[in-house]
Amino acid sequence: MSRSIGLDATLTDYVRRANPAESAALKRCREETDGRQDAMMQISPEQGAFMKMMARMVDAKIAVEVGVFTGYSAMAVAETMKERHGSKARLYACDVSDELVGIAEGYWNEGGVADIIQPVIGDARESLIGLINDGLVESVDMMFVDADKTSYPDYYTAGMTLLRPGGVMLFDNVLWNGSVADPAKSDPDTDALRAIAEKVNNDPRVDNAFTAIGDGLLIAMKR
Ligand SMILES: C[S@@+](CC[C@H](N)C(=O)[O-])C[C@H]1O[C@@H](n2cnc3c(N)ncnc32)[C@H](O)[C@@H]1O
């Protein structure tokens, strides 16, 4: 799992204890994922708490996630959605790896949210077009983008079609461990993250906030 940029271990511990406790299934997902070599891909529990709150604030009933990994962020949001909307809630969970989504499904089953999460396997650029073609236009309350950084502009374009007015799109890793603020750094991921921050900040169709939660979380609300 990752931790919020700029927080040392003591402050991280304080922030985690000041947040509501995770469900047993979320905790197991986080702890077991921590044993993987790629565990840093998982959002932090404090970011999970923030996203649950965001789902409450927009009263999310239909959500999309791009980048599932072992399922932590999707489950955090889905728990809130199910609490508020029961089995009528739907979270479309897009990932290119059916193996990873298979792992995630184990946790979603344990947490009692598998019935409201619909896995969508494949390149998310195509998956989002598929959701648009399936009629999900202007009906999504919340979308979380946490996959390949160079595709963030494509996810933004599709997301703006999917989101309802007042719906929110969250982009993860927009600080990229500080690289975005280092003028000496230029590579496809860093440049794409700078570009999405600038694009969102200059888009009159949204209200936006760039936050330092986790590794940087960019929030765009469709007007
Ligand atoms: C950073 S991880 C997601 C972490 C997850 N949100 C969590 O909190 O546990 C990124 C995920 O994006 C997926 N991914 C990468 N490129 C993708 C693409 N083009 N389409 C769909 N998924 C992709 C990877 O398979 C990986 O599971």
Residue range 181-187: mean pLDDT, rounded: 97
Whether 1 shows a pLDDT value over 70: the answer reads: no
Q: What is the pLDDT of residues 78-112, one digit of tens each?
A: 999 999 999 999 999 999 999 999 999 999 999 99
Provide the pLDDT confidence category of residue 11 given band limits of 50, 70 and 90.
very high
Q: Determine whether the shortest distance from the Cβ of 44 to ligand 1 is under 6 A.
A: no
Q: Determine whether the shortest distance from the Cβ of 103 to ligand 1 is under 6 A.
A: no
Provide the pLDDT confidence category of residue 6 given band limits of 50, 70 and 90.
confident
Q: Determine whether the shortest distance from the Cβ of 215 to ligand 1 is under 6 A.
A: no
Sequence ranges of the domains in the chain:
9-222
The label of the residue with tokens 């955090």 reads 76
Residue 218 has phi, psi (to 5 degrees) of -95, 125
Whether 73 shows a pLDDT value over 90: the answer reads: yes
Q: What is the pLDDT of residues 117-149, one digit of tens each?
A: 999 999 999 999 999 999 999 999 999 999 999
Residue nearest to atom 11 of ligand 1 (CA): 67
Provide the pLDDT confidence category of residue 5 given band limits of 50, 70 and 90.
confident
Of ligand 1's listed atoms, the one at least distance from the Cα of 43 is: 8
Whether 3 shows a pLDDT value over 90: the answer reads: no
Distance CA 44, CA 208 (A): 22
Pocket test for ligand 1, best of 2, 27, 95 (most atoms within 8 A of CB): 95
Whether 159 shows a pLDDT value over 70: the answer reads: yes
Q: Does the domain spanning 9-222 belong to CATH 3.40.50.1220?
A: no
